[in-house]
Amino acid sequence: MGESFYSATCEENFVASKPGSEESFDVCIVGGGIVALSCAQALNNSGIKVAVIEKERIFSGASGVNGGFVAPGYALGMEDLEKKVGSEHARKLFEISLGGVDKVKSNILFYGIKSASVAHGKIDLLRYNPSRKEIEYPERMSRLYGYDIKPMEKKDLEGMLNTESYCYGFYHSRAFHIHPLNYGLGVARSIQAEGVAIYENREVESIRKASGGYDLVCVGGIISCKEVVVCTGGTPGKDPEIIKKSILPISTYVVTSEKNDEIPEKYIKTECALGDNRRASDYYRVVDGDRVLWGGRITAFPTSRKKGIEDQIRQDIRNVFPGLSGLKFSYSWKGVMGYATHKMPCIGRLDSGVWYCTAFGGRGLGSGTACGEVLAKALLGDEESLGLFQEFGLKNTYGFLGRIAVEATYKKYIIKDRLDEKNKS
């Protein structure tokens, strides 16, 4: 599909490091997304000589094309996480992800990345009347996680969204949204100035064991290091086989509309990021003052049929804001996220000694930042936080069959969402 709104409006100018004549590092990180940069920043702050090696441009993967919502939590919802690991363990994992949210904000302030265009708040929207359990959700999040969520009644929502679609909402005051590409390039520029080598257009074709560490066979020559970290997200094509087999690449789509004064003045009168709580959800926000950026739809078998996807998203917008049915799109694009079958990140070390930190699904800005730091700590000898992720190991996704299962589950989700809305409204 086409160019993203973010690359068309990018204000950062990052220049990659020049390959040296002899290239040797303490740690090399494969991939140049949010996880890699976070890990590199933490290692560099501890005096480790580190290189980030990206096959295309920094933040050209999911990290630079996403919705821009920065919020705590993981692709696996907190309730499912609690069921899996118990409430105390879940609380520690939530706290880690919240640390990632705060880290993104502190990086923006510390490095002065104004072009990240921070806007505050996120509202989760319900398309049906809330159940008792949903009404109690903010109190529960406050008691168990110390996290503040404010309920929003239909009348509160009506003041800011010109639609009949929503009955209730949850306002997250600590969440925010950003221009992710400007953020990433701003961080890259800043940590490069602090000493991190950041290479672009250097695909790592293989990782070989060598005396004292590893040789990375890359475009442009071999790079040697004592430790390697693989952070390749949804594009693990050249990774060790066991990582490749554990990642389901899932495509998802975003559009950004033409400029239209009516969007902020009449339809979306809030700077908050918005998303419904469907299993197969829609999310959107106003960008550039008077455009709507709208994301949704997933598939395990990516399509390049730009028009087909645009038509589906236009229908999604029309369902919520019938008055915007004629809206034209200036940009539409696709991104690929990496999922594990358990929907939690995979962080750890292979028998070969290679480290990995991947599979953040659709929730990588906060949790990916946090887990990059978790991995850096482990490399420095403190594996306490890493231990919290151990039970979500690398699990086979069964390739083509796994993708078919994703498609079937997604279709099932759409039906379940509609039934829930019909029954509860």
Ligand X SMILES: Cc1cc2nc3c(=O)[nH]c(=O)nc-3n(C[C@H](O)[C@H](O)[C@H](O)COP(=O)(O)OP(=O)(O)OC[C@H]3O[C@@H](n4cnc5c(N)ncnc54)[C@H](O)[C@@H]3O)c2cc1C
| Interface residues toward ligand X, by CB under 6 A | 30-36, 53-56, 60-63, 65-69, 203-204, 231-235, 238, 252, 254, 295, 335-337, 358, 360-366, 368
First to last CA, the chain: 37
For ligand X, the closer CB: 160 or 336: 336
Alpha carbon distance 375, 43 (integer Å): 9
CB of 257 to ligand X, least distance (A): 16
CA–CA distances in Å: residue 224 to residues 20, 130, 372: 12, 56, 21
For ligand X, the closer CB: 130 or 333: 333
| Sequence-separated (6 or more) residues with CB below 8 Å from residue 123 | 152, 157, 169, 170, 171, 172, 270, 272, 273, 274, 275
Query: Sign of dihedral through CA atoms 37, 43, 47, 52?
Result: negative
For ligand X, the closer CB: 53 or 90: 53
CB of 296 to ligand X, least distance (A): 9
| Sequence-separated (6 or more) residues with CB below 8 Å from residue 74 | 81, 93, 97, 343, 344, 345, 360, 361, 363, 367
Report whether 108 contacts 182 (CB < 8 A): no
For ligand X, the closer CB: 159 or 353: 353
For ligand X, the closer CB: 233 or 348: 233
Report whether 332 contacts 253 (CB < 8 A): yes
CB of 40 to ligand X, least distance (A): 11
CB of 1 to ligand X, least distance (A): 11
For ligand X, the closer CB: 69 or 170: 69
Alpha carbon distance 33, 232 (integer Å): 8
Nearest-CB residue for ligand X: 364
Query: What is the token pair recorded at 111?
Result: 């490095």
CB of 114 to ligand X, least distance (A): 20
For ligand X, the closer CB: 5 or 130: 5
For the chain, give the number of residues.
Answer: 425
**CB atoms closer than 10 angstroms to residue 419:** 10
CB of 153 to ligand X, least distance (A): 26
For ligand X, the closer CB: 135 or 222: 222
For ligand X, the closer CB: 130 or 392: 392
Q: What is the per-residue burial (b if ≥16 Cβ within 10 Å, else e) of 363-380? A: bbbbbbbbbbbbbbbbbe
What letter does residue 61 receive in the DSSP assignment? Answer: S
Alpha carbon distance 302, 251 (integer Å): 6
CB of 158 to ligand X, least distance (A): 25
CB of 28 to ligand X, least distance (A): 10
Query: Sign of dihedral through CA atoms 208, 214, 217, 222?
Result: negative
Report whether 350 contacts 356 (CB < 8 A): yes
CB of 58 to ligand X, least distance (A): 7
CB of 345 to ligand X, least distance (A): 9
Alpha carbon distance 190, 113 (integer Å): 9
For ligand X, the closer CB: 130 or 230: 230
